[in-house]
Amino acid sequence: MPPSKKSGVLRSVVRGMGSYLPERCVTNHDLEAMVETTDDWIVQRTGIRQRHVAAEGETTSMLGTKAAQAALADAQLTAADIDLIIVATSTPDYTFPATATQIQAALGITHGVAFDLQAVCSGFVFAVATADKFLRSGSHKRALVIGAETFSRILDWQDRTTCVLFGDGAGAMVLEAQTNAGTLADRGVITSHLRSDGRHRAKLYVDGGPSSTQTVGHLRMEGKEVFRHAVGMVTDVIKDAYAASGATSDMLDWFVPHQANKRIIDASAEKLGISPSKVVTTVHLHGNTSAASIPLALTVAREDGRIKTGDLVMIEAMGGGFTWGSALIRW
25 among known catalytic residues:
no
**Residue 33 engages ligand UT7 in binding (rule: CB under 6 A):** no
Are 3 and 35 in contact by the 8 Å Cβ rule? The answer is no
55 vs 202, beta carbon nearer ligand UT7: 202
- Alpha-carbon distances, residue 13 vs 141, 155, 179, 294, 331 (angstroms): 11, 36, 9, 17, 7
Could you tell me if 196 and 321 are in contact, meaning their C-beta atoms sit under 8 angstroms apart? Answer: yes
CB of 195 to ligand UT7, least distance (A): 15
Residue 118, phi then psi, degrees to nearest 5 = -120, 105
| Nearest distance in Å: CB 90, ligand UT7 | 10
Q: Give the residue with the Cβ less far from ligand UT7, 37 or 179.
A: 37
The burial class, CB within 10 Å (0-12 / 13-18 / 19+), for 94 is exposed
| Cα–Cα dist 28/285, whole Å | 11
* Residue from the set 24, 30, 43, 45 that interacts with ligand UT7 by CB under 6 A: 45
Task: List phi, psi (to 5°) of 17.
Answer: -135, 150
Nearer to ligand UT7, 106 or 267 (CB): 267
**Three-point CA angle 118, 209, 162, nearest 5°:** 75
Helical axes 39-46 vs 262-272, angle rounded to 10°: 20
- In the complex, least distance from residue 200 CB atom to ligand UT7, rounded to whole angstroms: 11
Kindly identify the residues of this chain, within the stretch 187-216, that bind ligand UT7 according to CB under 6 A: none
Q: From 244, 265, 246, select the one nearest 315 (Cα to Cα).
A: 265
Indicate whether 261 belongs to the interface with ligand UT7 (CB under 6 A). yes
For 205-252, the DSSP string reads: EES--TTTTSS---EEE-HHHHHHHHHHHHHHHHHHHHHHH---GGG-
Q: Is 75 in the site for ligand UT7 (CB under 6 A)?
A: no
Taking CB under 6 A as the criterion, the residue among 86, 98, 100, 121 binding ligand UT7 is 121
Find the binder of ligand UT7 among 3, 24, 32, 37 (CB under 6 A): 37
C-alpha torsion angle, residues 297, 298, 304, 306 (rounded to 10): 120
- Interface with ligand UT7, residue 160, by CB under 6 A: yes
Active-site choice (28, 52, 121, 140): 121
Residue 313 in contact with residue 331, Cβ under 8 Å?
yes
Name every residue whose Cβ is closer than 8 Å to that of residue 180 and which is 6 or more positions away in sequence.
8, 9, 10, 11, 13, 186, 187, 188
121 is annotated as an active-site residue: yes
**How far, in Å, CA of 51 to CA of 22, rounded?**
9
Instruction: Report the candidate in 218, 270, 247 with the shortest Cα–Cα distance to residue 330.
Output: 247
What minimum distance in Å lies between the beta carbon of 98 and ligand UT7? 22
Q: Is the Cβ of residue 115 or residue 227 nearer to ligand UT7 in the bound state?
A: 227
**Residue choice 46, 91, 102, 299 for contact with ligand UT7 (CB under 6 A):** 46
- Of the listed pieces 86-94, 156-164, 170-178, 275-283, which binds ligand UT7 according to CB under 6 A? 156-164
Question: Given the rule CB under 6 A, which of 13-21, 40-48, 106-114, 180-188 is the region that contacts ligand UT7?
Answer: 40-48
User: Is 100 or 219 the residue whose CB approaches ligand UT7 more closely?
Assistant: 219
49 near ligand UT7 (CB under 6 A): no
Task: Using the minimum distance from each CB to ligand UT7, give the nearer residue, 229 or 239.
Answer: 229
**Residue 289 contacts ligand UT7 per CB under 6 A:** no
Cα separation, 113 vs 105, in Å, equals: 11
CB of 260 or CB of 292, closer to ligand UT7: 260
Catalytic residue among 28, 180, 261, 288: 288
Active site includes 163?
no
Residues in contact with ligand UT7 by the rule CB under 6 A: 37, 41, 45-46, 121, 160-161, 164, 223-224, 226-227, 230, 260-261, 264, 288, 319
Catalytic (active-site) positions? 121, 258, 288
